[in-house]
Structures are given as structure tokens and as C-alpha cells.
């Protein structure tokens, strides 16, 4: 019998890093609405009363970056100056310039032939799936996302009217023989009005948030609950912590249950394999697990800038596969085409669908219709292997 623990975290849409991700992806979506073939690499930074949006863009589109940033701040709940940043009055600096032609020559030619489009950069990407939850995601991360989504819902509906936009959750799960056995600890840090007591907050969040969304069968008498462990979380958002695009990549992916190549997603068009190939690797991994070919699957891929064919595609099932990994690699190579242009074509990625992924994870999103979350290759995989 093997026991181990895994901890994952999530953050609300009002967390400063997630505000930056949403602004970067909001700019991307606005550009793609007018120009699906635009080249976009946009970063955002937020601090008290200030937003900076910078990066490289090559496009025919015209967009109002300031309006996008203000709308995202407003929708996240930053509508009062006492929160440290106010959508109406925040200072917004825009510093965008054209993409390097040295990069563009590798990804911008022969658009009509997607099989010839090269990778937008070098790097390695990972996709992962596990049968621990209905969404085929690691349990600690799935649980942490459920908590932060419920925190945001309770704030917006005013069922907990003292909540402010910033917040985080963290869940530790105890595993036994690779299966979640129990939830060992839950931590929630929720920004709040100064007049609410710590005792009320803990009671409300444990009973109306945590126990509402987590599986009752995994909570026992030894499960530990921590709410705002310092005792106070009034100053938050960009006033409490500078926000940057791409600083929550583990929250975006698999919560530490699988490797990460290091590249962020938000603000990048899909010629950047940091984004598109990571999505496609998840697509392949999820279909492998959904097909019953493994309980866990990690798909690994690597690219060279300007070259369509990946340098590597490999698969690890951690000893849970129902067939050999050699057979599985052959099957995946027949069913999935990892060339960047073919990924874009197959998943129809030149669409403004990205801002919605910039909070609560890019994977396992049962609330969104995302092409890389479909399991439409299951029958093809099974057919090939029989």
C-alpha cells in the first residue's frame, strides 16, 4: 500500500495575476475578432491604481486596449477606490509594437497550407489527464478551482456580502495506491471588508463554501480547515500584490500533478506552441484516459522555432496503461497531428475564446465548450488498437 499527499492551489478572477491574464487574453480576443491571423504576444502588469499593457502585435485590427482593461477590472469587482484599483479611474499605459520579422518569417508564410506552419518558438509542452474526477483532472486542483469559483459566486450574488474580489484556495489530498482517499487540509484566503469578524468568516466559508462544493465522502474528522490564517485580509488585489501575466501557470494547468514546460498561455496567439501545443497535448492525454487505455497519461512534446514537425512526442502512463506505451505511441501518432498549423486547424483555434480560460484553469472546464476538452478521438483510438 502506497500513500502520498498532493497539494494544489487556485485563485479567484480578482487575484492580481489573474487580472493580468484576463487583460492579456481580453486584448487577444478583441484582436482575433477582427483579424484571426494576427500575431499577438501581450503582457500585462497591475499595481495600485495602475495597469500597464505591453508586447508585440502584428495585426490589421484596431482595438481600444484601455476600454478592455477597464471592463475586465469592472467585471472582476474592482469598482471602488478603497479596493486599491478602480476600473473607472485606474491609470492605463499601453506600450505595444510590431512583432519581430525574424519570428514572423517562420510562422507567417503559406497560411493556406497549415501543414507548413512552423512553431512560433522552441520549447517543451505537457498534457495530462487522470481518472480521479469526472473532468479527468487531478483531484486537488479540481477541488481548489471549485472553491474559488464558489467564492466568486458568493461575492457576486452577495450571499456573503463582505467578500472582496481577491481570493485563493489550497487543497491537500491524501492518496492511497494512486487513488484519492481523503482530503487532509483545505486553506482559503478570502479578501474581505474590514468590519467582518474572523469567526464569522471561518464559519461561513467552511460551511457555505468548502463543504458545499467538496465531496463529503472525502472529508473526515481529521480534515483540517484554515481560513485567512493571518487573521485579516483587507488589503488585496493589485494594491496588496503586483499582478503579472503568466505568474499562475501551475494554477492554469495541473496544479503540480504534472510537469510544466514553463511557458505561459495568456496573451499569446496560437502560433505560439506554448499555448496551442499544450492544449493539444491535453487533448491527446484526455482521449487516452477517456478511452480506458490508461488511468493516468502524460503527453510530452517539443519544438524548434520555424519547424512544423515536433522534435519529440512521448507518452508516460505511469504503469497504468492497458497496453504498452510503444503501442500507445504508435496509436497517438496515427490519430493526432502535432504540427502547429494542423493543431490550429483541427481545434479551430483562430477564434476569440481565450479570455474565458484566463481564470479557474484552461483544462477540465466542464462549464465551457473548449475544443481540447472533447473526447471525440476515443473511438478512433480504440479502433486502431483492436
> What angle is formed at CA 23 by the lines to CA 343 and CA 16, rounded to 5 degrees?
115
What is the number of alpha carbons within 13 Å of residue 34 lying toward its C-beta?
13
Does 272 belong to an annotated binding site?
A: yes
Does 233 belong to an annotated binding site?
A: yes
Q: Where are the alpha helices (DSSP H) in 267-371?
A: 273-290, 325-335, 340-347
Does 216 belong to an annotated binding site?
A: no
Q: What is the DSSP string of 313-342?
A: EEEE-TT--SS-HHHHHHHHHHH----HHH
For 123, the 3-state DSSP assignment is: strand
Q: Are strands 123-130 and 91-97 parallel, antiparallel or unpaired?
A: unpaired
Does 132 belong to an annotated binding site?
A: no
Q: Three cell numbers at 206?
A: 467552511
Does 84 belong to an annotated binding site?
A: no
Q: Three cell numbers at 328?
A: 500507445
First and final C-alpha spacing in the chain: 33
Contact 281, 126 (CB under 8 A): yes
Does 56 belong to an annotated binding site?
A: yes
Identify the CA nearest to 210 among candidates 228, 227, 191: 227
Identify the CA nearest to 22 among candidates 76, 59, 66, 92: 76
Does 200 belong to an annotated binding site?
A: no
Does 306 belong to an annotated binding site?
A: no
What is the C-alpha to C-alpha distance for residues 162 and 265, in angstroms, rounded to an integer? Answer: 32
Q: Three cell numbers at 319?
A: 504503469
* Nearby residues of 320 by Cβ (< 8 Å), 6 or more positions away: 178, 294, 295, 296
Does 232 belong to an annotated binding site?
A: yes
> What angle is formed at CA 139 by the lines to CA 246 and CA 349, rounded to 5 degrees?
45
Does 241 belong to an annotated binding site?
A: yes
CB count in 10 Å sphere of residue 198: 15
For 38, the 3-state DSSP assignment is: coil
Identify the CA nearest to 298 among candidates 328, 337, 271, 266: 328
Q: Which residue ranges make up the annotated binding site for Mg(2+)? A: 17
- State the binding site for L-methionine: 56, 99, 241, 272
Binding-site residues from annotation: 15, 17, 43, 56, 99, 166-168, 232-233, 241, 247-248, 264, 268, 272
Query: Which residues make up each annotated binding site for ATP?
Result: 15, 166-168, 232-233, 241, 247-248, 264, 268
Binding-site residues from annotation for K(+): 43
Amino acid at each position: 500500500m502506497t500513500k502520498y499527499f498532493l497539494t494544489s492551489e487556485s485563485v479567484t478572477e480578482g487575484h492580481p495575476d489573474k487580472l493580468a491574464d484576463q487583460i492579456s487574453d481580453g486584448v487577444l480576443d478583441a484582436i482575433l475578432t477582427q483579424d484571426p491571423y494576427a500575431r499577438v504576444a501581450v503582457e500585462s502588469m497591475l499595481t495600485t491604481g495602475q495597469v500597464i499593457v505591453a508586447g508585440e502585435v502584428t495585426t490589421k485590427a484596431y482595438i481600444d486596449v484601455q476600454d478592455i482593461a477597464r471592463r475586465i477590472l469592472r467585471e472582476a469587482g474592482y469598482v471602488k477606490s478603497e479596493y486599491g484599483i478602480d476600473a473607472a479611474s485606474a491609470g492605463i499605459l499601453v506600450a505595444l509594437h510590431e512583432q519581430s520579422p525574424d519570428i514572423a518569417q517562420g510562422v507567417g508564410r503559406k497560411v493556406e497550407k497549415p501543414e507548413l506552419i512552423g512553431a512560433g518558438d522552441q520549447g517543451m509542452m505537457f498534457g495530462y489527464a487522470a481518472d480521479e474526477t469526472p473532468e479527468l483532472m487531478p483531484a486537488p486542483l479540481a477541488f481548489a478551482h471549485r472553491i474559488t469559483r464558489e467564492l466568486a459566486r458568493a461575492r457576486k450574488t452577495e450571499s456573503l456580502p463582505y467578500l472582496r474580489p481577491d481570493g485563493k484556495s489550497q487543497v491537500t489530498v491524501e492518496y492511497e495506491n494512486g487513488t484519492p482517499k481523503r482530503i487532509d487540509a483545505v486553506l482559503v484566503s478570502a479578501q474581505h471588508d474590514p468590519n467582518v469578524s474572523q469567526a464569522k468568516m471561518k464559519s461561513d466559508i467552511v460551511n457555505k463554501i468548502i463543504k458545499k462544493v467538496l465531496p463529503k465522502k472525502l472529508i473526515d474528522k481529521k480534515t483540517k480547515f484554515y481560513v485567512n490564517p493571518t487573521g485579516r485580509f483587507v488589503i488585496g488585489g493589485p494594491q496588496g500584490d503586483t499582478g503579472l501575466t503568466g505568474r499562475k501557470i501551475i494554477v492554469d494547468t495541473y496544479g503540480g500533478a504534472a510537469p510544466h514546460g514553463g511557458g505561459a498561455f495568456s496573451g499569446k496567439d496560437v502560433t505560439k506552441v506554448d499555448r496551442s501545443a499544450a492544449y493539444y497535448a491535453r487533448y491527446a492525454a484526455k482521449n487516452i484516459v477517456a478511452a480506458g487505455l490508461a488511468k493516468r497519461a502524460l503527453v510530452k512534446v517539443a519544438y524548434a522555432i520555424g519547424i512544423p514537425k515536433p522534435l519529440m512526442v512521448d507518452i508516460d502512463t505511469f504503469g497504468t496503461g492497458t497496453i504498452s506505451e510503444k503501442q500507445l505511441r504508435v496509436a497517438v501518432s496515427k490519430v493526432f497531428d502535432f504540427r502547429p498549423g494542423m493543431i490550429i486547424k483541427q481545434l479551430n483555434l483562430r477564434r476569440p475564446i481565450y479570455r474565458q480560460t484566463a481564470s479557474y484553469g484552461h483544462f477540465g472546464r466542464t462549464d465551457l465548450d473548449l475544443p481540447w476538452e472533447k473526447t471525440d478521438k476515443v473511438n478512433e483510438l480504440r479502433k486502431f488498437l483492436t
